[in-house]
Every structure is written in C-alpha cells, then in structure tokens.
Structure 1
C-alpha cells in the first residue's frame, strides 16, 4: 500500500498544482455534464466487483474516457472521488480502495495522457487517430497495463491463477476500449464541447 499511496499523493499533487478547476469556467462549463456523469455512473462500475462473487470480477475502469472528456489535470481528482464514492456504495479496506484508485484509475489515465502526447507528436492532429488511437486501442492498452501492474504488485484475483487473470483483464480491457471508443466517436460528432482534449481548430483545421 505504501507505493500506491505515494503514487496517489504524487499524481493528485501534480494535478491540483495545475488548478484544474479553471477548466470549468466560462466555455469550460460544458464539462460539468461529463464531470457529474462520471461521478454518478463510475462509482457503481467500480463498486461492481465487490457487489457479487465471481471468479473474475467485472471491473470496468472508464478512466481513459474521463481523461478524454475532462483532461488529465481534472480527471485525477475526479477519479479519486469516484474511488471514494465506490467505497461508500460497497465498503472495503482502505488498502483495497487505494489500489483500485491507483491501478484502475490514475495509472490508465496517466498512460492515456502520455499516449495522446506521443500520437500528436509522431502523427499530428488527425481525427481518425484521436478516435481510434486514443479512444479505442489506446484505452485497451492503457487499461490492460494498469490491471497488469496491479497483478504484478500482488493484487491477485481471488480463486484465479495469475496467468488466467491476465487473460481476463485483457478481455475486460477491450470492453473499456469499445465503451470509450464509442463515446469518443459520438462526442466528436455531436458534443465536441464535452471533450476537453478535442479541438476543432487543431483536428479539423477550423479557424
């Protein structure tokens, strides 16, 4: 738990130092809708593994979707709140909640940020890469990486061998990818103001 606590404090500290609440001012007030939607829906998805007994817990992250909608600085405190709210829905030991926040929230979110920076630097601002690279395939890779690190850190899945757990996490990561990719495509087409990481000026060359 020590390492996970340090990761949580460090990422939250960097996020808060960037004053992410400024994104909600003026035209950024459109982000209030995805913000409240995240705080309403995600705690239930995060609480789901503790609400039923199955060999492989149905854990959907949604962290990459939140990052695309709110931007990384604002996504970090939101994901921490999501973890705390999920603990209210289904109580669990503090160590378990911290591990869930870090490995299924903050780590995929931070990896998604790095992936987005890399895609823009290497390939430029292309709508196809934004939707497919960041929204779909990027979510699969970042979510699976976070889940794999959780297993590597000793958070094994109950009644499941580690190798089988990796296969299960890989399949569940695709569920996250389809969900995030679908939302990204819909929002780009109909609600671009709900995506803090999207810009018509950059991706569509509009002035």
Structure 2
C-alpha cells in the first residue's frame, strides 16, 4: 500500500515535469544529482534506542527549496534507493520510508514555503527564517509524528514505547534540523542564488 501510494505521487510529479528542458540543462542535472547524493551521508548518520525507531537529520527543506516540489520528490527517491541499497534501511520498509520519510515531509515543507510566499512580507530574512529555519523544524516534526503513528499502527511497538523512546527526543531534533537547513539556505541564497529555485531576487531583494 505504501509503495503504491508513493508511486502515484511520484508519477504525478514526473508527468508534470518539463523533461525536455531538464535534459537540455546539464548544470541543472548536476545540481539535482549532487543534492541527492549529499543527502545520503546525512541519512546514514542515524541514532536510536530501538530498531525501526532511528532518527537522523532530513535536509529535505533545503532540497525542496532548491529544486521545487517535483524534482525534490524524485531526488529524494534516488537518495532513499542508495541508502537502502547500502543496507542502512531495510527493503521491506522502502514504501513506508519513501512516503512518510520523503514525500510527506517534502510536501509539508513546500506547502509552508507557499504559505510564506503568499501571505508574509517577501523579504530575505523572512525567506531564511520562515521558509528555511522554522520550516525545517516543522518538517522534522511532521516526519517524526508520521513515523510514530506508522510503527504504532503496524504493531511494531506499543504507543507508550514510541512516546518514551522516540517522540521524547523530538524536541532535541527540532533546533539542529532548523539550524542545518537555515544555514544551508543562507549560504545558498548569498553565494549561489541561481541554485535555489524558490528564491527570486525581484521579490526578496529588489527595492527592499
């Protein structure tokens, strides 16, 4: 079921992508694959008390802001394939990891960006702190709560164990995840703004 739902979302993302333009842009391809590969060591650095309840930094807010919703979904798929192939994640959990650990947090992160772009004052610091910093913390919370619900629903662990051994460390993850993505976005918009698809000079810098 998880893999089927994930496939539907990824198919929708792939069908709406301008593949002709993407294939003609070599620098864009290098950026996409480089971002996907950069997530692999980040996801491989896991910590946890019990099997199936490991935590790691996501970096998905930066990915979503850099590539947009469609490409970030496809690159997250590539990252997860590599992490699973290396044996860090089990293949039988691939569908759930893809949907709850990739598609859902990327969608939540991009949705927060759209809200900030539509309803908040468009300024560089708003982009960095709301779309980058606070957005990343919220994305980590969404992913962690989704997995907590999944392992409880699937019967892997009772709810109280999940709360004590998994959700209890969530507050410790929010600030580091927010800081990691906030710093990455800050460096990107300062030194490589052309790499960030959701950052527009005319909106965030000109006449501010």
Q: Give the TM-score band, short-chain normalised.
A: 0.7 to 0.9
Q: For the structure 1 residues 92 and 120, does the alpha-carbon distance in structure 2 shift closer, same or farther, using more than 3 Å as the test?
A: closer
Residue 79, structure 1, aligned to residue 58, structure 2: no
Give the alignment's TM-score, normalised by structure 2.
0.83
**1:44, CA displacement in angstroms?**
2.6
Aligned with residue 127 of structure 1, among 124, 128, 134: 124
Number of residue pairs aligned between Structure 1 and Structure 2: 200
Q: 2:202 — aligned with what?
A: 201
Task: Identify the residue that residue 163 of structure 1 maps to in structure 2.
Answer: 163
For 1:83 and 1:138, how far apart are their aligned partners in 2?
A: 22
Alpha-carbon distance change, 100 to 48 in structure 1, aligned in 2, over 3 angstroms: farther
Mapped pair 1:15 → 2:16: no
Please say if residues 112 and 138 of structure 1, whose CA atoms lie closer than 8 Å, have aligned partners that are also in contact.
Answer: yes
Going from structure 1 to structure 2, the CA distance change for 1:176 and 1:20 (only over 3 Å counts) comes to farther
Over the residues paired in the alignment, what is the CA RMSD in angstroms? 2.6
* Unaligned residue ranges in structure 1 (runs of 5+): none
Residue deviations 1:52-100 (CA, integer Å, cap 9, x gap): 7755634111111111111111001100111101111116433322222
Counterpart residue number, 1:151: 148
5+ unaligned residues in a row in structure 2: which ranges? Answer: none
Q: TM-score, normalised by structure 1?
A: 0.84
- Asked if the contact 1:108/1:146 (under 8 Å) is kept, the reply is yes
CA contact under 8 A between 2:32 and 2:71: conserved in structure 1?
Answer: no
User: Residues 99-129 of structure 1: CA distance to partner in whole angstroms, max 9, x if unpaired?
Assistant: 2222222111100111111111211422111
| CA distance 1:151–1:144, change in 2 (3 Å) | same
1:203 shift after superposition:
1.4
Where 2:98 maps in the other structure, the secondary structure is helix
